[in-house]
Chain A
């Protein structure tokens, strides 16, 4: 049935929908609107072009010009009518959804993450400047710590004056840069400089850790701070040697050889330097999930719970919503509109806030639920109760929607159908089971599938309530209520070092799981054929 529709359907259908008929005169207003809108497109494109030209971003400029040209051509030619309607949404879709998703997917094949962010040269610079130590005879500078932005958060810069040439320079992790227009005190300390805000002692001491960590690379070493007002130019304790493609420690003579497949410098005894670079690692991020026992075990249990959660949330909300809708679907019930209004109130409350409220209602010591029922249950502390709690929260949040939808679908089912079955001797249950439910399912299956897909990745539901906990004592990465998506989020942005590559690999897994499940479900219903008809 569907296969026929893939072909050149144009001619098979009654409406003459091929792209040929010339656009009729849409009238003056239409024409003016069109001109104004296209003018706006050109104006935006010109506005957007200036910074691209100024920054010599020629590829970006090329894309901009091409996109604008295609858009202008599309709306000036009378042909390609469907494309005219699809273009605005599609452009945004490509820029802000497809492109980021593809970019993320491509990192799944790399080791991108903390310690593997930049290229090899950047890694070498970082290793060398991190190993800088003060040696006898090091140059000393008077140091002013400054920033180009906000004193509390802006990027840090060291302002120093060369004791010999009196040249003032600004240094950050990229190196030294000469600056003019600086006021220097008699001791050689910079007191003001154009474009920089100098941190006072209080502001600087708040950021002392960052200041200690900052090393400004210079030839053969780096400039580092000693205290908040002195800096020295130290010699690198470790240096990169091109001949052996390795990093050598100048005092002990130990070497770490570059391993291009790992993106790291590795010593003969297996010791790795923390600073590495980004390399492609093929499918190892994917195979890691299956082969590494310490990952695959928890991963499997998370996957099972993830399915249980999605099915439980969808099924629970549907059953409760349908039950209430059935109960109220009778003309004999007075005040149905009042019921409806009160029942959908949870739907109008902001979900993110109500998730946080529920989190606090489950609080052990002063939560409402323990208070109300005189319990002292540590809801979020035990696997079973925590899972029960998140499912209950989902039930509360989700069933008003199911109630609304079922009510609408029930109204669309002709009452004669179940009346006729009652006359034929069917009981209430039989008439529901054989007549009403099948009809409801036809109408609601697509919504149930999309609800399943949504709940499968329901990040907020977990992150704002349990944050994935409770965690087993031996595995702080994988909690009892973790969904794959919260687990992945923790891998990518969690405290113990970002692993973007691995996180991206898991998100591709998630994508495939949800895609396959939905595809099977859609295939089992006739929904697809109906939609393509």
Chain B
């Protein structure tokens, strides 16, 4: 028994403590969401009742279904396209030698370090003009904010992917070249399938960060119908409504987790492999 404690028992102890820490706040959100009173002051760690009143209010009294749709479409399209753009760039950086390659890689890293949202004034002015000229890609539109997010497509994820591309032996492309494949065919037919894990991981990371993005969305989407989940839910617990709307807010939080969990489930088998492989390098 003592030996078991020393070898395995402490591992379970650490694991259980960590699980308790991880699940505590989530349990609290769960009980608050099903709390019939729906206020912060009446919410406890353990569920005190089971009521769908909060969910019902969320779906009927607010624009939540619209926010949900907006978030899923915006985050889905923006992350998928940005993964593709990033993969294109990573291919060039990994497989091609050209002038400005090193500078290009370094500047991608550097640009990320400028606190981008401090450029919101400039972005606001730019999109003010865009809204005047092309209302369909201006404020309060899907396309506008997707384009804005795509501005950050090249960046850390390009680095991560480049690291992963580097681990695929160059001999593969070379032999394909000898067999008469063009660079396009090498990219789409040979490399993309091989780097699927890192595509999954960067896609998931991009999806999570887009669906959580708050500052840009907050200035960009002002119509209630065009808001994303982060902006909409934030409005629910702003200022005085903090206590009364807490249950509704928690119900919204739980529903917001659904798309992320689904994407996570879909990509799960690649996740652990991809998260580190880019950094480890074989």
- Give the interface of A toward B (CB within 8 A): 2, 5-6, 8-10, 13-15, 17, 19, 23-26, 30, 48, 51-52, 55, 57, 60, 81-83, 85-86, 88-90, 92-93, 95-101, 103-104, 107, 320, 323-324, 327-328, 330, 332-333, 339, 342-354, 356-358, 360-361, 363, 365-368, 371-372, 396, 400, 403-405, 407-409, 411-412, 443-444, 446-447, 450, 453, 457, 459-460, 464, 485, 488-489, 492, 500, 503-504, 507, 510-511, 514-515, 518, 530-533
* Binding stretch for chain A, among B47-55, B57-65, B146-154: B146-154
Given A350-B229, A352-B214, A396 and B183 contact (CB-CB distance below 8 Å): no
Secondary structure at the A interface, as helix, strand, loop or mixed, is helix
Residues of A within 8 A of B14 (CB): 323-324, 327-328
> Is the CB–CB distance between B279 and A447 below 8 Å?
yes
Q: Is B70 an interface residue (CB 8 A)?
A: no
Specify which of B88, B109, B158, B261 is in contact with A348 (CB 8 Å cutoff): B261
For the complex, give the distance between the alpha carbons of A352 and B45 in Å: 20
Residues of A within 8 A of B97 (CB): 9-10, 13, 17
For the complex, give the distance between the alpha carbons of A50 and B159 in Å: 38
> Is the CB–CB distance between B253 and A96 below 8 Å?
no
Given contacts A344-B264, A367-B40, A511-B114, 17 further A-B contacts (CB under 8 A): A5-B102, A26-B182, A85-B89, A86-B104, A323-B14, A330-B11, A332-B8, A346-B26, A350-B256, A357-B28, A405-B276, A446-B279, A447-B279, A492-B121, A518-B109, A531-B105, A532-B105
Residue of B nearest to A442 (CB): B280
Q: How far is the CB of A148 from chain B (nearest CB, A)?
A: 13
Specify which of B25, B89, B111, B249 is in contact with A97 (CB 8 Å cutoff): B111
Between-chain CB contacts (< 8 Å), 9 pairs = A9-B97, A26-B185, A85-B89, A89-B89, A92-B85, A98-B111, A327-B15, A345-B22, A350-B229
Specify which of A2, A98, A345, A356 is in contact with B26 (CB 8 Å cutoff): A345
> Is the CB–CB distance between A453 and B180 below 8 Å?
no
> Is the CB–CB distance between B275 and A104 below 8 Å?
no
Given A85-B89, A343-B18, A396-B21, A453 and B121 contact (CB-CB distance below 8 Å): no
Given A85-B89, A333-B11, A346 and B184 contact (CB-CB distance below 8 Å): no
Q: Is B1 an interface residue (CB 8 A)?
A: no
> Is the CB–CB distance between B170 and A366 below 8 Å?
no
Given A98-B111, A99-B126, A366 and B40 contact (CB-CB distance below 8 Å): yes
> Is the CB–CB distance between A492 and B272 below 8 Å?
no
> Is the CB–CB distance between A515 and B162 below 8 Å?
no
> Is the CB–CB distance between A485 and B134 below 8 Å?
no
Q: Is B115 an interface residue (CB 8 A)?
A: yes
Q: Is B199 an interface residue (CB 8 A)?
A: no
Q: Is B66 an interface residue (CB 8 A)?
A: no
Specify which of A92, A350, A444 is in contact with B147 (CB 8 Å cutoff): A92
Q: Is B257 an interface residue (CB 8 A)?
A: yes
Residue of B nearest to A96 (CB): B151
Specify which of B12, B86, B264 is in contact with A89 (CB 8 Å cutoff): B86
> Is the CB–CB distance between B28 and A368 below 8 Å?
yes
Q: What are the 9 tightest A-B residue pairs by CB atom distance, in nearest-first order? A: A96-B151, A408-B276, A366-B41, A100-B119, A100-B122, A327-B14, A85-B92, A89-B85, A103-B122
Q: How far is the CB of A424 from chain B (nearest CB, A)?
A: 20
Given A345-B26, A349-B26, A407 and B88 contact (CB-CB distance below 8 Å): no
Q: How far is the CB of B171 from chain A (nearest CB, A)?
A: 10
> Is the CB–CB distance between B40 and A363 below 8 Å?
yes
For the complex, give the distance between the alpha carbons of A510 and B126 in Å: 23
Q: Is B163 an interface residue (CB 8 A)?
A: yes
> Is the CB–CB distance between B26 and A86 below 8 Å?
no
Residues of A within 8 A of B118 (CB): 104, 485, 488-489, 492, 503-504, 507
For the complex, give the distance between the alpha carbons of A488 and B229 in Å: 26
Residue of B nearest to A22 (CB): B182
Given A92-B85, A350-B260, A453-B112, A360 and B40 contact (CB-CB distance below 8 Å): yes
For the complex, give the distance between the alpha carbons of A344 and B151 in Å: 29
Residue of B nearest to A446 (CB): B279
Residues of B within 8 A of A531 (CB): 105, 159, 162-163
Specify which of B21, B98, B153 is in contact with A93 (CB 8 Å cutoff): B153
Residue of A nearest to B32 (CB): A357
> Is the CB–CB distance between A532 and B252 below 8 Å?
no
Residues of B within 8 A of A2 (CB): 102
Residues of A within 8 A of B280 (CB): 408-409, 412, 443
Residues of B within 8 A of A15 (CB): 95, 170, 173-174
> Is the CB–CB distance between B180 and A24 below 8 Å?
yes
> Is the CB–CB distance between A52 and B234 below 8 Å?
no
Kindly supply a per-residue 1/0 record for chain B positions 168-196, scoring 1 wherever the CB is within 8 Å of any chain A CB and 0 otherwise.
Answer: 00100110000011111101000000000
Residue of A nearest to B158 (CB): A89
Residues of B within 8 A of A88 (CB): 85, 88
Residues of A within 8 A of B234 (CB): 352, 356, 464
Kindly supply a per-residue 1/0 record for chain B positions 120-163, scoring 1 wherever the CB is within 8 Å of any chain A CB and 0 otherwise.
Answer: 01110110000011100000000000011011111010110011
Given A327-B10, A368-B45, A356 and B237 contact (CB-CB distance below 8 Å): yes
> Is the CB–CB distance between B275 and A405 below 8 Å?
yes
Kindly supply a per-residue 1/0 record for chain B positions 250-282, scoring 1 wherever the CB is within 8 Å of any chain A CB and 0 otherwise.
Answer: 101100110011001000000111011101110
Q: How far is the CB of A104 from chain B (nearest CB, A)?
A: 5
For the complex, give the distance between the alpha carbons of A53 and B85 in Å: 31
> Is the CB–CB distance between B257 and A348 below 8 Å?
yes
Residue of B nearest to A9 (CB): B97
> Is the CB–CB distance between A515 and B89 below 8 Å?
no
For the complex, give the distance between the alpha carbons of A95 and B264 in Å: 31
> Is the CB–CB distance between A459 and B215 below 8 Å?
yes
For the complex, give the distance between the alpha carbons of A10 and B100 in Å: 12
Q: How far is the CB of A15 from chain B (nearest CB, A)?
A: 6
Within 8-35 of B, Cβ neighbours of A (below 8 Å) are at 8, 10-12, 14-15, 18-19, 21-23, 25-26, 28-29
> Is the CB–CB distance between A352 and B230 below 8 Å?
yes
Given A353-B253, A515-B113, A327 and B122 contact (CB-CB distance below 8 Å): no
> Is the CB–CB distance between A333 and B279 below 8 Å?
no
Q: Is B74 an interface residue (CB 8 A)?
A: no
